């Protein structure tokens, strides 16, 4: 069922409940002289027969008997003090002994007060129930990781950001990031995990993966998280982007990125970058190093702003809906997509070899997309990507070896505020519960590398999810129609949001880095 | 899969709604009435309406069976349902207490959370429930009662003995039964 349809159904159920809740059933008694037939009293309705003696007989099934001077039926008799007289059974009553007959018509009265109470019970009770079952989901957003230099300094920019797409528990995921650093075997590596945003992070695991570099080469992570030794990384011979020659920008992973402006009419507009590499034969891979621009972040924040005061309900719906609802919630990100890579050799046709789709605008990542080269001619590589969505750092050709199994290392120490935090370490090791962090929190994790003759290439594996905090200033943009559009028609939303994004595109990066939250 | 929290809220809501909507067992007693005296200094009287007979209103109160001249009564309020203003206030206080304690406990169970902050979250939530209960009370109180003129024949159907007191029945004998409404 479409998201919009489910919302409509939920709204209908809520309205029905409210309608029932506001309408309170009451009985209005009507008195009749003891002469059948009694007005508005079908034979299967309840009849209260008030006897001249003050006694009462409540009949559930009854009929007139004799020549209309008697009533017979099933029911219960009561004394004048309303104690039960005998067991329920059949009664034959002479109308001459009856003072009055009472029927009751069911009616309803409405009360705005009860509507308020039903609505409050639904909302506050729902939140309380959800939070009691899932405390971290309520009280507990994407952690950043900084690898300390050999002399213990923390770099200005993080080398990795964990599970950026896991914006709700239902989207909890494992993420692998290339740290782009190597360390000698047998040494300790210290990594600082920070929460630098108005988010709540729930981190289940943090592991360091280490694999020996081949002589003069690197180890690269594939899109399937397997690690490949790369003996050489060749820069492109040619590179053509819509703006012209892009060879210099994409030759090496040096932080100099190629980025294009987003389309002013449709944020999903795609572009093509074509590269040429020398011919090769055997196991090859196209290595792409990139990070997202702040387009995806803008869209996420804008969606949260449109949801506004219903953000809690939105997230609860997401959690209830499972992974499929989660994927739908990321609809605009899905439409923007990754960097689709195709290759062709000589005059052979294009073939797709995979996509680079690492989420997050904070730390770049590098992935290799393996393929088998025939050596039949120069290798042509074609990238299809959404304009303004990616900061392309490098696109190189790797000569790959067979995948290797890395050392998978758990943190040896976990420190917070200079003190060992065994509780946090235990949680990260066991993976059964989360380490929950709030804005400004920082944990230092120390890993001990195994002995190795070759320097060890490092990767960070993190697992968890996060919740974005609502900002007071976002509430001014609350717009349920746009929130619904983002969920139901993400492509349409990307067209509607294009002008707004273009007015901010040039200054988003600077503003984002200026907003880091540190204690 | 639905989360249990949502299920429990749904059950609570259904129970609440069912309580308001459900048909009840037969009423064999008279309705609960509140007599508002003409004289402003005189106390209100609450009890079960027994009969309207002999130009008197017969009511079973906590002090026994009493009768009143309709002329001494300005208004008779007849209870129509039990979701009264008092019920709304109790709902707000009990709901607030349960919700506040549950949220405080849940929040405190998360490592790193400040207990004072969690208590504040629980307190604010409890306050919201209570506030809603108190705000809803006047509306429910108004819908739960019907105002009837003490001399009106409309009162009779709400009495235990709508035909009046039987001959030879000592009104005091009607004191028996469950505690009179207070």
* Three-state helix/strand/coil letters over A32-71: ECCCCCCCCCCCCCCEEEEECCCCEEEEEEEEEECCCCEE
- Domain shared by B75 and B154, yes or no: yes
Q: Evaluate whether residue B17 is within a structural domain.
A: no
- Selection from A295-304, A464-473, B21-30 with the highest mean pLDDT: A295-304
| A438: closest chain B residue by CA | B112
Question: What is the number of domains present in chain B?
Answer: 2
Residues B139 and B95 in one domain: yes
Q: Do residues B71 and B110 share a domain?
A: no
Report the range out of A24-33, A282-291, A294-303, B48-57 with the highest average pLDDT: A282-291
Q: Per the domain annotation, does B22 fall within a domain?
A: no
Please give the ipTM for the structure prediction: 0.78
State mean pLDDT over A76-83: 92
Using a CB-CB cut-off of 8 Å, the residues of chain B touching A129 are: 4-9, 12
Q: Do B105 and B71 share a domain, yes or no?
A: no
Rounded to a whole number of angstroms, the distance from the CA of B24 to the nearest CA of chain A is 9
Selected residues 116-155 of chain B with any CB under 8 Å from a CB in chain A: 118, 121, 125, 128-129, 132-133, 135-140, 142-143
Q: Residues B98, B175: one domain? A: no
Q: Is the pLDDT of residue B9 over 50?
A: no
pLDDT value for B113:
54
Inter-chain CB pairs, A–B, below 8 Å: 202
Does some domain include residue B20? no
Least reliable range by pLDDT among A100-109, A163-172, A174-183, A467-476: A467-476
Higher pLDDT, A7 or A80: A80
The pLDDT of residue A67 is: 78
Q: What is the pLDDT of residue A519?
A: 60
B178: in domain = yes
The listed range with the strongest mean pLDDT (A120-124, A187-191, A483-487) is A187-191
B67 falls within a domain: yes
Structure tokens given for A361: 């605008």
All residues at 6 or more sequence positions from A312 whose CB lies less than 8 Å from its CB, including other chains: A127
B106 and B66 belong to one structural domain: no
Confidence of residue A250 (pLDDT cuts 50, 70, 90): very high
Q: Comparing A127-131, A175-179, A376-380, A429-433, which segment has the lowest mean pLDDT?
A: A127-131
First to last CA, chain A: 45
Name, in order, each residue with C-beta under 8 angstroms of A5's C-beta and a sequence gap of 6 or more: none
Same domain, yes or no: B43 and B87? no
From chain B residues 29-68, the ones with a CB under 8 A of any chain A CB are 29
Tell which residue, A11, A17, A25, A9, has the closest CA to residue A117: A17
Cβ(B124)–Cβ(B12) under 8 Å?
Answer: no
In angstroms, the separation between the Cα of residue A29 and the nearest Cα of chain B is 6
* Residue A274, H or E segment: strand A270-277
List, in sequence order, every residue forming a beta bridge with A175; answer none if it has no partner: A462
Q: Is residue A372 classed exposed, middle or buried when 0-12, 13-18 and 19+ CB atoms within 10 A define those classes?
A: exposed
* Cβ contact A81–B173 (<8 Å): yes
Q: Specify if B34 maps to a domain.
A: yes
Nearest residue, CB atoms, B23 vs list A25, A83, A110: A25
Say whether both B150 and B127 belong to one domain: no
Nearest-neighbour CA in chain B from A177: distance (Å) = 27
pLDDT at A138: 53
* Nearest beta carbon to residue A54 from set B17, B140, B161: B161
Closest CA to A432 of A200, A193, A202, A167: A202
CA distance linking residue A217 with residue A229, whole number of Å: 7
What would the pLDDT profile of A452-501 be if each residue is shown by its tens digit?
Answer: 999 999 999 999 998 888 777 677 788 888 888 888 899 999 999 999 89
CATH: 2.30.30.100, 3.40.50.150, 3.30.450.20, 3.40.50.10470. Which one for A1-133?
2.30.30.100
- Summarize the confidence of residues B47-75 as an average pLDDT: 91
Q: Give the domain extent around B107.
A: 82-143
Same domain, B138 and B163: no
Minimum mean pLDDT range among A62-76, A251-265, B66-80, B148-162: A62-76
Judge if B88 and B122 occupy the same domain: yes
Tell me the C-alpha distance between A269 and A502, whole Å.
Answer: 13
Q: Which residues of B fall within a CB distance of 8 Å from A112?
A: 136, 139
**Would B14 be classed as within a structural domain?**
no
Q: For chain B, first and last CA: distance in Å?
A: 48
What pLDDT sits at residue B111? 46
Q: B106 with B136, same domain?
A: yes
The two tokens of residue A399 are 């000569």
**Do B63 and B89 form a contact (C-beta atoms < 8 A)?**
no
Asked whether residue B75 falls in the same domain as residue B149, the answer is yes
CA B20 centroid distance within chain: 12
In this structure, is residue B18 part of a structural domain?
A: no
Q: Do A29 and B158 touch (CB under 8 A)?
A: yes
Residue A212 has a pLDDT of 95
8-state DSSP, B63: T
The alpha carbon of residue B108 is apart from the nearest alpha carbon of chain A, in Å, by 9
Tokens 């680079």, located at residue: A356
């Amino acid at each position: 069922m479409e998201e919009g349809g489910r919302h409509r159904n939920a709204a209908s159920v809520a309205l029905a409940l409210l309608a029932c809740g506001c309408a309170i059933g009451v009985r209005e008694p009507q008195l009749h002289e003891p002469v059948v037939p009694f007005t508005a009293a079908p034979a299967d309705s309840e009849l209260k027969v008030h006897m001249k003696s003050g006694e009462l007989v409540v009949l559930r099934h009854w009929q007139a008997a004799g020549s209309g001077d008697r009533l017979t039926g099933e029911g219960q008799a009561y004394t004048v003090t309303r104690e039960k007289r005998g067991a329920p059974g059949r009664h034959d009553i002479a109308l001459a002994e009856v003072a009055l007959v009472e029927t009751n018509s069911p009616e309803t009265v409405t009360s705005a007060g009860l509507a308020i109470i039903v609505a409050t019970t639904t909302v506050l009770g729902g939140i309380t129930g959800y939070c009691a079952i899932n405390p971290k989901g309520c009280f507990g957003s994407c952690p950043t990781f900084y690898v300390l230099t050999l002399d213990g300094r923390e770099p200005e920019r993080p080398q990795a950001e964990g599970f950026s797409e896991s914006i709700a528990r239902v989207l909890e995921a494992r993420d692998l990031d290339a740290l782009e650093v190597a360390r000698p075997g047998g040494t300790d590596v210290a990594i600082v995990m920070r929460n630098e945003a108005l988010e709540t992070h729930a981190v289940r695991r943090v592991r360091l993966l280490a694999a020996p570099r081949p002589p003069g080469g690197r180890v690269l992570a594939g899109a399937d998280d397997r690690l490949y030794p790369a003996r050489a990384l060749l820069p492109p011979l040619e590179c053509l982007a819509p703006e012209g020659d892009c060879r210099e920008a994409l030759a090496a992973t040096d932080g100099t990125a190629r980025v294009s402006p987003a389309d002013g009419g449709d944020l999903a507009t795609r572009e093509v970058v074509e590269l040429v590499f020398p011919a090769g034969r055997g196991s090859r891979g196209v290595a792409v190093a990139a990070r997202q621009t702040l387009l995806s972040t803008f869209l996420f924040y804008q969606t949260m702003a449109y949801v506004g005061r219903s953000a809690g309900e939105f997230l609860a719906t997401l959690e209830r809906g499972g992974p499929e609802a989660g994927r739908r919630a990321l609809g605009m990100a899905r439409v923007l997509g990754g960097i689709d890579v195709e290759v062709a050799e000589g005059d052979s046709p294009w073939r797709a070899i995979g996509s680079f789709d690492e989420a997050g605008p904070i730390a770049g990542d590098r992935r290799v997309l393996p393929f088998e080269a025939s050596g039949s001619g120069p290798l042509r590589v074609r990238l299809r990507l959404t304009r303004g969505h990616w900061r392309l750092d490098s696109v190189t050709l790797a000569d790959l070896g067979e995948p290797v199994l890395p050392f998978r290392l758990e943190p040896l120490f976990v420190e917070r505020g200079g003190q060992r935090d065994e509780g946090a370490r235990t949680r990260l090791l066991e993976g059964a519960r989360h380490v929950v962090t709030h804005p400004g929190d920082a944990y230092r994790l120390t890993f001990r590398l195994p002995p190795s003759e070759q320097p060890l290439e490092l990767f960070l594996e993190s697992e968890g999810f996060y919740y974005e905090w609502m900002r007071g200033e976002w509430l001014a943009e609350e717009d349920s129609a746009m929130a619904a559009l983002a969920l139901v028609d993400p492509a349409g939303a990307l067209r509607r949001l294009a002008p707004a994004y273009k007015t901010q595109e040039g200054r988003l990066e600077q503003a984002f880095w200026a907003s880091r939250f540190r204690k | 899969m639905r989360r249990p929290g949502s299920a429990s809220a749904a059950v609570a809501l259904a129970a609440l709604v069912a309580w308001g909507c459900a048909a009840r067992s037969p009423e064999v007693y008279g309705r609960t009435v509140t007599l508002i005296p003409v004289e402003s200094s005189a106390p209100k009287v609450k009890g079960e309406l027994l009969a309207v007979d002999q130009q008197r209103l017969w009511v079973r109160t906590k002090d026994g069976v009493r009768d009143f001249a309709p002329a001494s009564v300005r208004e008779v309020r007849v209870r129509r349902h039990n979701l009264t203003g008092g019920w709304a206030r109790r709902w707000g206080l009990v709901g607030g207490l349960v919700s506040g304690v549950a949220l405080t406990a849940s929040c405190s169970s998360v490592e790193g959370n400040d207990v004072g902050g969690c208590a504040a979250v629980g307190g604010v939530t409890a306050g919201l429930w209570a506030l809603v209960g108190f705000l809803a009370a006047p509306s429910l109180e108004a819908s739960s009662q019907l105002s009837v003129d003490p001399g009106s024949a409309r009162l009779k159907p709400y009495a235990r003995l709508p035909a009046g007191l039987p001959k030879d029945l000592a009104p005091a004998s009607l004191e028996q039964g469950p505690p009179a409404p207070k």
